[in-house]
Structure formats: C-alpha cells, structure tokens
Amino acid sequence: MRLLHTMLRVGNLERSLAFYTDVLGMRLLRQKDYPDGRFTLAFVGYDDEDKATVLELTHNWDTTEYDLGTGYGHIAIEVENAAKACDDARARGGKVTREAGPMKHGTTVIAFVEDPDGYKIEFIERKTA
C-alpha cells in the first residue's frame, strides 16, 4: 500500500493552480472536467503519480469558498533551506504566514505559507547529517 493523494476543495481553480505550480513549483499532472457533476479535478505534484504522493484540487463550479473548519492541519514540504523557500514563495506572490525558524519546543527549522484558499503549507528544512 501507499498514499496516493490528498484532496483539497478550492474556490478558484486557476488561482490555485497558479499558486501550486508558480509559487510552490509543482507540475500540473492531469486535469479533467466533469460537466454532469459540475466539477473539475486537477492533480499537481513534484513527481509523477506512480512515483510520489500528489495533491488533488477539486473545484466545484458553483462554490467559490469553503469553511476550512478546525480539524485541518497543513501540508508539509521538505526544503533545503526554509528561509530561502519563504523568500522564493514571497517573490512569486505567495503569502508567508510564519518566517523560517526553530519549531516551538524543538530545533527543526520550519516556516509556513498559505495558499489562496487559506490552506497552510509547512516548509520543513532538511536536516544535514
């Protein structure tokens, strides 16, 4: 068994695709409209679906925003340098909500950015051996 994807509901598909591809550097892997159901599925990721876990962005055509609730946490992405990842995201129009620094009560360097729908993405700096 392996984890295939995580699904996020997005209010504006083009805006979300721009964030995940232009700001975070993922690739659009596939996209399909389902007119009878009035929704579109778009899959994005850093590698092909048969090699890595990806994100499924679900756009329900008649819904422009969602209440994220209190149960959702975040998506984590490993980066070489969290401060540089924040600078790169900011330069591409991303919203940094926590600058790079040690996690509370720990030493792992983390940072957070937010996607256009308010989902949090954590950058976790790769530890060197």
Span 49-58, pLDDT tens digits = 999 999 999 9
pLDDT higher than threshold 90 for residue 72: no
User: Considering only 26-30, 61-65, 71-75, 87-91, which range has the smallest mean pLDDT?
Assistant: 71-75
pLDDT higher than threshold 70 for residue 129: no
- State which fold the 75-125 domain adopts: 2,3-Dihydroxybiphenyl 1,2-Dioxygenase; domain 1 (3.10.180)
Number of CB atoms found within 10 A of residue 43's CB:
19
Instruction: Provide the mean pLDDT of the chain.
Output: 95
Same fold, 5-60 and 75-125: yes
HSE-up of residue 124 (Cα within 13 Å, Cβ side): 10
pLDDT higher than threshold 90 for residue 68: no
pTM: 0.87
Whether residue 109 contacts residue 101, with contact meaning beta carbons closer than 8 Å, is answered with yes
List helix spans (H) across the chain.
Answer: 13-18, 82-91
- When pLDDT is averaged across residues 16-37 and rounded to a whole number, the result is 97
HSE-up of residue 27 (Cα within 13 Å, Cβ side): 8
Give the DSSP letter of residue 29. E
- Please name every residue paired with 39 in a beta bridge, in sequence order, or none if there are none: 34, 60
Known catalytic residues are: 122
Tokens found for residue 27? 């690739």
- pLDDT bracket for residue 99 (50, 70, 90): very high
Superfamily of domain 5-60: 2,3-Dihydroxybiphenyl 1,2-Dioxygenase, domain 1 (3.10.180.10)
Q: Identity (one letter) of the amino acid at 80? A: E
pLDDT higher than threshold 90 for residue 124: yes
- pLDDT bracket for residue 63 (50, 70, 90): very high
pLDDT higher than threshold 90 for residue 69: no
Give all strands of the β-sheet with 5-9 in edge-to-edge order: 5-9, 54-60, 39-45, 27-34
Name the residue ranges covered by the structural domains of the chain.
5-60, 75-125
